Amino acid sequence: MRLCSILLVACIFMLTQIPAFAQISSNATTTQVRYNTEQPLRYRIAHFDPRLNISQQQMIDLSKQAAAIWEKDTGQHYFVYDPEAEFSIHLVFDQRQIRSMKRTESLNQLKHEQQIWLNENQQLQQLKQNLARSTMQLELQKTEYQARVESQQQHTQRRSIKTLFTTSPKQELEQLSAQLQTRIDIHQQLVQQLDQQTRKSKLLYQHLTQSITEFNQTFKPQILHKGQFEGNQIFIYEFSSLDDLRLTLAHEFGHALGLKHTHNPKSLMYPKIKQQQAKDFRLTDTDLELLGYSH
């Protein structure tokens, strides 16, 4: 039974998690659970290429976690790790996995570029808010200064006499003029900062969209066989993460049990890795029914 993956990229401006679909071709026509606690399937991990960046112990642990998916809701221990077992699990390192690893690396780089742009755009929005407040304050000071100028003109005409303990209208006007000029200088600095940040954010956005276009062109949709169960062997041809590997292996374990595919897109035995929760998957009622259980 083959587990295939359609690597479909739907990158957009606000980059979201890119889904990887998997389609499985299966020849299973009947369901017959072959193993149980009394007679579990004993398996081993075959040697695999170190370029997969996963250790033998990690793979053993993942296989036990994949087996536990079938066990935690049934109480049955269908699988037992045995380094001397005849049944073997193989991780195949070929162009399928190389492509997947390059895709993951490129996707991580895209996310990094996106985060940089988001940070810069956040600064841009903050500068816009600061400039809006500065514009309001500047207009208030201009209005106040203009009112004092008019008042000074009226004062001069009336030749008002001030006491020695009161700041003269002329001095007060000079102080307001100096404060206004300071505010104007600060405002101009904000205008320049906003202009620089706008250009920077625009360039980052252009670079991000170009990177997304190149990503889509490089990793166009194609069908890749993710996994296959054959007699006394399981082959894993492609995985994008340890969670993905665990779920793929659990699916192939299901075929080793003798289970066929389902029509429930959330079930483990559905022929596409699509709606399942790879990190913390639990068997659905559909999967349990294949095993002869129901909630």
100: CATH: 3.40.390.10
pLDDT tops 50 at residue 25: no
User: What pLDDT, on a 0 to 100 scale, did the predictor assign at position 4?
Assistant: 44
User: What pLDDT, on a 0 to 100 scale, did the predictor assign at position 1?
Assistant: 53
Beta-strand relationship, 87-91 and 41-45: parallel
Q: Which of 229, 240, 213 is nearest to 21 (CA)?
A: 240
Q: Which of 172, 200, 217 is the last residue of a domain?
A: 217
Cα distances (angstroms) measured from residue 7 to each of 73, 117, 134, 198: 31, 26, 50, 35
Mean pLDDT for the stretch of residues 83-112: 95
pLDDT tops 70 at residue 77: yes
Q: Are 196 and 202 in contact (CB under 8 A)?
A: no
- For the sheet with 41-45, list strands across it: 20-25, 2-7, 223-230, 233-236, 87-91, 41-45, 79-81
251 and 200 within one domain: no
More confident residue, 200 or 221: 200
User: What pLDDT, on a 0 to 100 scale, did the predictor assign at position 123?
Assistant: 96
User: What pLDDT, on a 0 to 100 scale, did the predictor assign at position 175?
Assistant: 87
201 and 248 within one domain: no
How confident is the prediction for the chain on average, in pLDDT? 85
163 and 29 within one domain: no
Domain of 177?
118-217
Q: Which of 217, 233, 258 is the last residue of a domain?
A: 217
pLDDT tops 50 at residue 111: yes
Mean pLDDT for the stretch of residues 129-143: 94
pLDDT tops 90 at residue 221: no
Q: How confident is residue 295, by pLDDT bands cut at 50, 70 and 90?
A: low
Q: How confident is residue 39, by pLDDT bands cut at 50, 70 and 90?
A: very high
Per-residue pLDDT tens for 235-274?
999 998 999 999 999 999 999 999 999 999 999 999 887 7
More confident residue, 250 or 151: 250
Mean pLDDT for the stretch of residues 91-104: 93
Structural domains in the chain (count): 2
User: What pLDDT, on a 0 to 100 scale, did the predictor assign at position 24?
Assistant: 40
Q: Which of 191, 217, 243 is the last residue of a domain?
A: 217
